[in-house]
Amino acid sequence: MDVLRDLPHRRYNPLLDEWVLVSPHRTQRPWQGQVEAVAGAMAPPYDPACYLCPGNARAGGVRNPAYTGTFVFDNDFAALLPDAPAAHQLDATGLMRAHAERGICRVICYSPRHDLSLAALDTASIAAVVDLWAAQTAELGAREAIGSVQIFENRGAMMGASNPHPHGQIWATEHLPTIVAREDQAQRAYHATHGRTLLGDYLAAEEADGARIVWAGASFVALVPFWAVWPFETMIIGRRVAGTLSALDAAERHDLAEVIRRVAAAYDRVFEAPFPYSMGLHQQPCDGAAHPAWQLHAHFFPPLLRSATVRKFLVGFELLGEPQRDITAEHAAARLRECASSVVPA
Ligand code: H2U
Ligand code: ZN
């Protein structure tokens, strides 16, 4: 009997300082053979009703330019406002603490083509998206009121995406959001103790093991984290210590683009259907200070479990106790690795 393969156990997430319960005895095999090809109508390359397509009007009447590459604009329904009053504490110590929060929300179109996705774009086009992410992080991060830049994408109606046009979002906030703050804390503490980065050491251990690697590029590696919660959750970690996209050279950005494309394309092969997800990048705080403990990385959180329609819910014990999964990270990684290796260069 192998505990990690056969018996109920808990795994530790050192980035968030939390545990996940794993129950591999409930299903020894992740792949049960179900393939439900989703009969989705093929999206057209241009949709006159799409608020993200070039030349079309958005809510409020602003018209998109006839853009030919990437395109970024201020979110017409921004969750944060740039000129809210500076963060004064409404109550700093009591049980009902609050403070004002300033921020900027933007939408990024990856391509003028309505019918593409990160999986369908070529690597050069995704590299242009990476360059825009880097430029946006630098521009927004330089603002006095901004302490953190969160880049993310919701893909698919199941994850709340409002439109199939390939796009993501940026929320730049005054304070570190809760999850980034926990990662910041964990990386600093590890660096203070060991003099090396948490994710650098973690990646070295994963590469030595190999069981959870999905795709290893020249500069970035995709893997299913040992502590993954979602069935097919992945992370992309850089081989070199760098806290922000701006620190990457052109070759590294190109490799990051290629690894993102491979991961996205591998997902679409798991159930032979567009795989929904939320993905995003975690970068160092933009307070102008050096952050030697920080290592830039991406997370993909995909909800699907057994087919294109059967998803995992985080409910019950998971809301009240801690997250739980059945299929092991190793089984999920084997399936994703097989899918990633069949993706052709583009
Ligand atoms: P999602 O698909 O992840 O919801 O992202 C789309 C964003 O686009 C969403 O945040 C914004 C929504 O507020 N939006 C505009 O800014 N203008 C529009 O005309 C429609 C949607
Ligand atoms: Zn469109």
The ranges assigned to domains in the chain are 46-341
Given a cut of 60, whether residue 29 has pLDDT beyond it is no
56 close to ligand 1 (CB < 6 Angstrom): no
Ligand nearest to the CA of 74: 1
- Taking the centre of ligand 1 as the mean of its atom positions, its distance from the CA of residue 234, in whole angstroms, is 25
pLDDT in tens, 113-150: 999 999 999 999 999 999 999 999 999 999 999 999 99
Residue nearest to atom 6 of ligand 1 (CA): 162
Residue nearest to atom 1 of ligand 1 (CA): 161
Residue in 167, 166, 267 with CA at minimum distance from that of residue 224: 267
Given a cut of 70, whether residue 315 has pLDDT beyond it is yes
pLDDT in tens, 269-313: 999 999 999 999 999 999 999 999 999 999 999 999 888 888 999
- Residue with more model confidence, 27 or 259: 259
What number of other Cβ atoms are within 10 A of residue 21's Cβ? Answer: 17
pLDDT in tens, 226-273: 999 999 999 999 999 999 999 999 999 999 999 999 999 999 999 999
162 close to ligand 1 (CB < 6 Angstrom): yes
Considering the candidates 88, 114, 165, 167, report the single residue annotated as catalytic.
167
In whole angstroms, give the CA distance from residue 302 to residue 166.
17
69-85: average pLDDT? 92
For ligand 1, pick from 76, 150, 165, 170 the residue to mutate: most ligand atoms within 8 Å of CB. 76
Q: At what angle do helices 250-270 and 123-141 cross, to 10 degrees?
A: 120
35-49, 125-139, 150-164: which has the highest mean pLDDT? 125-139
User: Are the C-beta atoms of 222 and 257 separated by less than 8 Å?
Assistant: no
- Structure confidence at residue 87 (pLDDT): 56
Task: Output the CATH code of domain 46-341.
Answer: 3.30.428.10
Which residues have CB less than 5 Å away from ligand 2 (the ion)?
Answer: 47, 50, 52-53, 114, 165
Ligand nearest to the CA of 171: 1
- Of the pLDDT bands very low, low, confident and very high (cuts 50, 70, 90), residue 95 is confident
75 close to ligand 1 (CB < 6 Angstrom): yes
